[in-house]
Amino acid sequence: MNRRNPDDAEVLHLLLDCVPSPIGTIMIAADYEGNLRTALFTDNDQFIRRQLRHHYGKTGFALEPAKNPSGLSSAISSYFAGQLDAIDTIAVQTGGTPFQRRVWKALRDIPWGATTSYGELAARIGYPAAVRAVGAANGANPVVVVVPCHRVIGANGSLTGYGGGIERKRWLLNHERSPTLF
């Protein structure tokens, strides 16, 4: 249950934590019910605030620091330590359009160690002609690693854009193909 003050009944209260990883800090925001709302490669809370404004409006959320909200930080750390399935059951709830959420849901169906193309993903969600729209939704994904947009590659097998950078995408794909304990 979200802790809400009667004076701010429309404000979504989120817990903010930083998760160190071998490829940079991931800042997460989660609600009191344990839903991951955003996870991005950054250590700058202003960057997270800008992302959240896109989904919840300028005054639609409040952030407070927390350690390991609902065990989410530990689950993400376990993924980086080689336990890939640690993130499979993390509950994710995001803003975004219905189309974006459909793409993000389909991303979670791509098994770790596998990749798909934008065209294959578009066909999978029933919009085979919407390759560019799928690419745009993939690029707008507010939950890195857990919603694995890094598993989408170009039709020719090339690594294409990734908000966290191509080197992180390469690292994540290699990690999922042969996890190593850190």
What are 70's two structure tokens?
A: 């609902």
Mean pLDDT of the region 103-113: 95
Q: Which of the listed residues 87, 120, 141 is the one where a domain comes to its end?
A: 87
Residue that wins the pLDDT comparison between 54 and 92: 92
Containing domain of residue 78, as a range? 6-87
The band of 39, judged by pLDDT with boundaries at 50, 70 and 90, is very high
Mean pLDDT of the region 43-67: 93
Both 132 and 78 in a single domain? no
Q: Please give the share of the chain, as a percent, with pLDDT higher than 90.
A: 81
What are 108's two structure tokens?
A: 């979670």
Q: Which residues are the active-site residues? A: 149
Both 24 and 77 in a single domain? yes
Tell me: the pLDDT tens digits for 62-107? 999 999 999 999 999 999 999 999 999 999 999 899 999 999 999 9
What are 74's two structure tokens?
A: 């530990």
Q: Which of the listed residues 23, 57, 87 is the one where a domain comes to its end?
A: 87
Average pLDDT, the chain: 91
Q: How many residues belong to the chain?
A: 182
1 inside domain: no
Both 72 and 109 in a single domain? no
Tokens 């080197």, residue located: 167
For residue 21, give the CATH number of its domain: 3.30.160
Q: Taking the model in full, what pTM does it have?
A: 0.90
Mean pLDDT of the region 17-28: 98
Number of domains observed in the structure of the chain: 2
